[in-house]
Amino acid sequence: MPAPRLWLIVPAAGIGQRMQAEQPKQYLRIGQRFILDITLSRLMDSAPFSGCMVPLHPADHWWPDTEASGDSRIQTCTGGSERAESVLSALHALAEQIRDDDWVLVHDAARPCLHTRDLSNLIDQLYHHPVGGLLASPVADTLKRAGSGDLPEVLETVDRKNLWRALTPQMFRYRILVGSLEAALAGELLVTDESSAVEFSGNMPVLVEGRPDNIKITVPADLALAGFILSRF
């Protein structure tokens, strides 16, 4: 039986409303490069991926200007209105190329600060696992549960023991991820990441500790922080 291969999906169909920018956040620049290009190159140059699928917004007109658009290893497909729909679209687009037991790694387009050691460790730790898992970081801050309103009151302090922040990449067997996403979307379940869909299916992903500076660019202040982190690599 052939060894499972590695495939990459980087959903890039989002519009990034919280960034308050004229273009989606994956097409903002750090230095002279698109965030999406930084993200894709860090992944594609650091692991032996058989290929990569990037789901794009139907009205995307920035992709042809990226470095990645000239990389023969990278394909594109049309994404959906939600992340889960985009990832499932990419999985279906790969169906003729991929085997059921192959590994699929899903990574946020706006998360360019992935350290290559974390990527290697994730693959090494999970390669022989039957289901898969994700990079995550133990919660370090004190957590408060809040009430509603513009100036919410604290309802309680939440015990952070055994709480982790989910990061990406998230790495799952193709057949498990496809089945989990299809079932979750058909059931109209709230799918916030690939792991949550797999959890709904009854499979329990593994947490692999990653660096907490693997941040996702979400608000304007994150752009400068990501630039600083990348300058330290």
Q: Which structural domain range is residue 219 located in?
A: 6-231
DSSP run (H or E) holding 39: helix 35-44
* Angle made by CA atoms 162, 168, 169, in degrees to the nearest 5: 120
- CATH number for the domain including 129? 3.90.550.10
Kindly state whether residue 100 falls inside one of the protein's structural domains: yes
Kindly state whether residue 1 falls inside one of the protein's structural domains: no
Q: Is the pLDDT of residue 165 over 80?
A: yes
pLDDT by residue (tens digit) across 8-34?
A: 999 999 876 666 667 899 999 999 999
Quick one: tokens of 24?
């989606």
Q: Is the pLDDT of residue 233 over 90?
A: no
User: Residue range 208-221: average pLDDT?
Assistant: 95
User: Residue range 103-129: average pLDDT?
Assistant: 98
Q: Is the pLDDT of residue 1 over 80?
A: no
pLDDT, residue 16, reads: 63
pLDDT, residue 23, reads: 87
Q: What is the DSSP letter of 58?
A: T
pLDDT, residue 20, reads: 62
pLDDT by residue (tens digit) across 51-106?
A: 999 999 999 999 999 999 999 999 999 999 999 999 999 999 999 999 999 999 99
- Bridge partners of residue 74, in order along the sequence: 52
Kindly state whether residue 163 falls inside one of the protein's structural domains: yes
pLDDT, residue 14, reads: 84
User: Percentage of the chain with pLDDT > 70?
Assistant: 97
Pairing of strands 164-173, 6-9: unpaired
User: What residues have CB less than 8 Å from 106, skipping those under 6 apart?
Assistant: 8, 9, 10, 11, 87, 168, 169, 170, 171, 172, 177, 194
pLDDT, residue 197, reads: 98
What are the two backbone dihedrals, phi and then psi, of residue 65, each rounded to the nearest 5 degrees?
A: -90, 0
Domain count, the chain: 1
The residue that leads in pLDDT, 2 or 108, is 108
DSSP run (H or E) holding 54: strand 49-56
